[in-house]
Amino acid sequence: MSLGLAIVGCGKMGRLIERLAPEYGFEVRAKFNRENNLHEAAVAPEALQGVDAAVEFTTPEAAPDNLRRLASLGVRAVCGTTGWYEQLPAVNESILAAGTGLVYSPNFSVGVNVFMQAVAHAACFFAKYPEYEAWGWEIHHSAKKDAPSGTLKKLAEEIRASGYSRTLTLTANRAGAHPGTHEIGFDSAADTITLRHTARSREGFARGALRAARWLAGKQGVFEFREILSELS
């Protein structure tokens, strides 16, 4: 039997998720966009009849209130919106108090999450060799609002957490329709090591978010996508 899905944010990601949802056993039963969800008010019980999970890809301004409202109505959520994580502790509290569930990530691509682990592993080695300095770079389409991206910030955090504490410069470009490339490099007088992930389309993000929504059924708590990766394969 299909599970009911609400799409919160009907932009590029929301439309793709709607198209792919049936492949993951979901029937889309509610859709919210900026127009019908002024001040997050439309996310209401009558609009969520038959909805088991919501996938939220909106804006950093809208996401925290959407997530709080979904939690208060008992709906589990997957959130791909980036740029709002300073509010994550408060949102976590709401999810835990409501006894629902949330999976969030700045990047729902399985490939990017494996790439992150490879970067962390490399950083752990280069931390011990002071002749190597590191950089991070990314490019996305010109409509992307946050720069550097949540993914590049997360990569930098992973590098730091792996023990690399020297200079790490981050730069971002915004141009055209590019779905997203992230690069981490280590450079010395002797050589350069470059690790790069290139997304070919948004489809990988949408599929990861739908897999997470399926996984979340019946679960309670707040999870980052990378923590549940091994349970999805």
CA distance 105 to 228: 11
Q: Does 33 bind ligand NAP (CB under 6 A)?
A: yes
Q: Could you tell me which residues come within 8 angstroms of residue 211 by beta carbon, excluding any fewer than 6 positions away?
A: 24, 232
Between 108 and 164, name the residue whose CB sits nearer to ligand NAP. 108
CB distance 18 to 210 below 8 Å: no
Among 82, 94, 100, 113, binds ligand NAP (CB under 6 A): 82
Q: Does 59 bind ligand NAP (CB under 6 A)?
A: yes
144 a catalytic residue: yes
Q: Hunting for tokens 């009849």 — which residue is that?
A: 49
User: Which residue stretches of the chain are H helix?
Assistant: 12-20, 63-72, 88-98, 110-126, 150-161, 203-216, 225-232
Q: Does 57 bind ligand NAP (CB under 6 A)?
A: yes
CA distance 126 to 149: 24
Q: Which of 31, 39, 128, 140 is catalytic?
A: 140
Indicate the pairing of strand 181-187 with strand 26-32. Answer: unpaired
Rounded to the nearest 5 percent, the helix, strand and coil shares of the chain are: 40, 25, 35
- Of 101-109, 114-122, 153-161, 170-178, which part binds ligand NAP (CB under 6 A)? 101-109
Number of residues that bind ligand NAP (CB under 6 A): 29
Q: Does 94 bind ligand NAP (CB under 6 A)?
A: no
Between 108 and 137, name the residue whose CB sits nearer to ligand NAP. 108
Among 11, 25, 111, 185, binds ligand NAP (CB under 6 A): 11
Q: Which residues does the annotation mark as catalytic?
A: 140, 144
Please give the residue ranges that form the binding site for ligand NAP (CB under 6 A).
Answer: 8-14, 32-35, 37, 40, 57-59, 62, 66, 80-83, 105-108, 144, 202, 205
